[in-house]
Structure 1
Amino acid sequence: MRVATTRGTRGVWTRIRRGTGGELSAEFLGTFTLILLGCGSVAVAVAGLPGSGRQEGAFGAANWLIVSWGWGLAVAFGVYVAGGVSGAHINPAVTFAWALRRRFPWSKVVPYWFAQTLGAFAAAALVFAVYRPAIVAYDQAQGIAARPESLSTFSIFATYPAEYFAGGVVGPLLDQVVGTAILVGLIAALIDNRNQAPGANVAPFVIGLVVMVIGLSYGSNAGYAINPARDLGPRLLTWLAGWGELAFPGSYDHFAHYWWIPIVGPLVGGAVGVLVYDLFIGQVLITRQTPESEPTPEPGVVPGSTETDTEPDGQRGSDQQDSPP
């Protein structure tokens, strides 16, 4: 009986791992890796180095390089961790965008979102456990008596808008829409084998560079969450850990009720990014996939022009499927 029960249990787990359960497991660990390294890099810049005795002088704006590189590499390794199982969305905006373009089943959208957010929360909890002494020391050095007053240490985990928005909603929301549109549109380009997708399995690294350049280009506006799970999971952790209204409803001196913007903005931006790519590039590539009896034009050559293609018929356009990274 015990042998039969053991075999039955193993069979259940095997079926789970082979199906959606395995994909959710990968999304959990991929997002966990993303947040563990990303929030870890912010912890180094904000509280780790200043209190460690390893930093003789303040890095100032150079700390942004630590943060940008940290998040970029965090995304790259998160994609490498989960890519072979789930496609490594590790971002609800990517999952939503791929469902919109009919490359991903709607029935899996909410389960993916849950796994991504849970992975982000778990990783944030581990970062908090590791860097708690540094956070406490930082608050003491700054004369901060209560955690809800510590916007800097809150920023280790979740995002907030710049002071120059003066509490406005439109600016931060637009920032999240644009930043995520750039991210998802470029991911669509980088994994599109009909286009010039990077080879030799370097796409995850290049996608990480996309996140890094978004941080360098747009990060100061609102912390470039560009990922609902990346903000919501750690934000839940900060709420439980005592940051109070900084987490929910997301209020401080120069902003109020901010918590929903890093969720709604990226979802809208992801949809915009993938639709723009498909409209301007994806549909063009489909149109240029001419029948095998006609040569496929070289990039930049209009079909039907007098220039001829030098490759054998049908060679360019083979294996032209794209999938999430």
Structure 2
Amino acid sequence: MSPYVAEFVGTMILVLLGNGVCANVNLKKTLGHDSGWIVIATGWGLAVAFAVYMTSHISGAHLNPAVTIGLAAIGEFEMPQVAGYIVAQMLGGIAGAVLVWLTYLAHWKETTDASAIRGSFCNSPAIPDTLANLITEIIGTFVLVLGVLAILRPENLMPDTGFLEGFAPALVGLMVWSIGLSLGGPTGYAINPARDLGPRIAHFFLPIANKGDSGWGYSWIPVVGPIIGGIIAAFFYQALWPAAV
């Protein structure tokens, strides 16, 4: 499997399981309807962990343009591969959202709340405020990228047993779970342009009953915010641990 295929498949699984839990909570007449934020945050944490386990040995499991761009900014990822990774991640996000639509095919028409339907694909802020929402996405992604870099520091790995190296994807998932619980309330913590924009595109094109608009006025914030946060985190990490990069 090529790294680009791995990024496509990994992001597809990430969105399928992550947006799948959103659909399970948001849509009417599902067995998980109204089960709450804890379920959503847990589902996303597990989705990230499983997707990273599937692809880390092939592509490094970026699964997120903010991670790819942040690593490239400090020379930890080859610049010629950046565009291919991002395209694969975006296509994976679209494919994962289509699979969520198919999984919950009988439930869209039962849900009359357009915001609940859109929330099963992409993010909307709890309180619309451009600057505040942008800052939230920057901070959430800063924590994500800094945490990924710190977890994977060579001195944290145990070459004799391979324990921490094998456990690293689970730690990344736990970190995403923590971000969701602690920082996700204002914007739904996209912290990943492919996770938001890819499904938003799918939402726009799919024939979903009662879907309403796709929220394009907000759509740039879950793209720009995570990219800024990822770049800041990468340079912050480089400044704190210069020997690691």
Normalising by structure 2, report the TM-score.
0.91
For the aligned residue pairs, the C-alpha RMSD in angstroms reads 2.0
* Residue 246 (1) aligns with residue 206 (2): no
How far apart are the structure 2 equivalents of 1:65 and 1:58? 11
| Matched residue SS, 2:200 | helix
Count the aligned residue pairs. Answer: 239
Counterparts of 1:42-53 in structure 2, within 5 Å, are: 42-47=22-27, 50-52=28-30
Q: Residues 86-125 of structure 1: matches in 2 within 5 Å? A: 86-125=59-98
What is the 5 A alignment of 1:140-151?
150-151=114-115
Residue among 94, 98, 122 paired with 1:158: 122
Look up the match of 1:29: 9
Between 1 and 2, higher relative CO (CA 8 Å, sep ≥ 6) is seen in 2
Q: Secondary structure of the equivalent of 1:51? A: coil
Is 1:40 equivalent to 2:23 in the alignment? no
Q: CA offset at residue 278 of structure 1?
A: 1.9
Distance in 1, matches of 2:23 and 2:212, equals: 21
Residues 74-89 of structure 1: pairs in structure 2 closer than 5 A: 74-89=47-62
Q: Distance in 1 between matches of 2:34 and 2:179?
A: 24
C-alpha contact 1:99 1:109 (8 A) present in aligned 2: yes
Q: CA deviation at 1:46?
A: 1.0
| Deviation at residue 275 of structure 1 after TM alignment | 1.4
Contact kept in structure 1, 2:156 and 2:164, CA below 8 Å: no
**Is the CA contact 2:157–2:165 (under 8 Å) kept in the aligned structure 1?**
no
Other-structure match for 1:168: 129
Aligned amino acid, residue 23 of structure 1: P
**Aligned with 1:260 (options 217, 220, 226):** 220
- Candidates 189, 194, 215, aligned match of 1:224: 189
Match of 1:138 among 93, 103, 111: 111
Q: Choose 1 or 2 for highest CA Rg.
A: 1
Deviation at 1:133, TM superposition (A): 1.2
Correspondence 1:302-317 to 2 at 5 A: none
Alpha-carbon separation, structure 2, partners of 1:84 and 1:196: 15
**1:106 aligned partner, one-letter code:** M
The two structures have a TM-score, normalised by structure 1, of 0.70
Unaligned runs of 5+ in 1: 1-16, 145-149, 250-256, 287-320
Residues 86-144 of structure 1 show CA distances to partners (whole Å, capped at 9, x for unaligned) of 101000000001101101111110110000000110010011011121121122xxxx5
- 1:191 is aligned, of 152, 169, 174, to 152
* CA distance 1:91–1:181, change in 2 (3 Å): same
Between 1:94-103 and 1:198-207, the stretch displaced more is 198-207
Aligned residues of 2:124 and 2:215 also touching (Cα < 8 A): no
Q: Which segments of 5 or more consecutive residues in structure 2 lack a partner in the other structure? A: none
SS of corresponding position for 1:199 = helix
* Cα deviations by residue, 1:273-299 (Å, 9 ceiling, x for unpaired): 12112212x12xx2xxxxxxxxxxxxx
Q: Distance in 2 between matches of 1:126 and 1:196?
A: 36
Q: Post-superposition, which runs of at least 4 consecutive aligned residues in structure 1 deviate over 4 A?
A: 195-198, 242-245
* CA gap 1:94/1:66 in 2 versus in 1, 3 angstroms: same
User: Which stretch has the larger CA shift, 208-217 or 198-207?
Assistant: 198-207
Q: Separation in 1 of the partners of 2:165 and 2:234?
A: 24
Partner of 1:211: 176
Q: Given that residues 239 and 248 in structure 1 are in contact (C-alpha distance below 8 angstroms), is that contact kept between their aligned partners in structure 2?
A: no
